[in-house]
């Protein structure tokens, strides 16, 4: 037992000096990976096809790769008629868009839904 006591004291001193506290997961839910139904913010957005930027992409109920496909299909659909066109549906998703206009460009928030699947993205485009 005398061998264990110095080791325990050494660990206690190390913890006090570094401020490190060991963390132990108490449930499997805390360490589980998010499911496809959880909302995910997708990184590494594709380049905007026109003059503008994709600013944000969130996917619920589907992966980021599929959400990016919906986002780019929506761009192609809404720019078919004109640079500032709109698109009500794409790839079976019903889409709504809210735009904030300025003299030079507009910021837009798009939500496309198909059952429990949801794609939300924000873009900025020149007018």
**pLDDT reading at 102 higher than 50:** yes
- Is beta strand 52-60 parallel, antiparallel or unpaired with respect to 89-90? unpaired
Q: Is residue 10 part of a domain?
A: no
**pLDDT reading at 34 higher than 60:** no
Highest mean pLDDT among 15-29, 36-50, 105-119: 105-119
Q: Is residue 28 part of a domain?
A: no
Q: Is residue 108 part of a domain?
A: yes
Which pTM was predicted? 0.68
Q: Is residue 4 part of a domain?
A: no
State the residue range of the domain holding 66.
Answer: 39-126
């Amino acid at each position: 037992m005398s061998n264990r006591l110095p080791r325990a004291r050494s660990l206690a001193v190390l913890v006090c000096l570094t401020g490190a506290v060991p963390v132990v997961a108490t449930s499997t839910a805390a360490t589980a990976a998010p499911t496809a139904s959880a909302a995910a913010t997708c990184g590494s957005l594709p380049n905007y096809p026109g003059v503008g930027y994709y600013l944000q992409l969130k996917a619920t109920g589907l992966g980021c790769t599929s959400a990016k496909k919906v986002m780019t299909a929506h761009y192609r659909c809404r720019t078919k008629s004109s640079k500032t066109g709109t698109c009500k549906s794409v790839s079976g998703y019903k889409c709504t868009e809210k735009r904030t206009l300025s003299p030079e460009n507009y910021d837009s928030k798009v939500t496309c839904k198909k059952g429990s699947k949801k794609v939300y993205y924000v873009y900025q485009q020149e007018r």
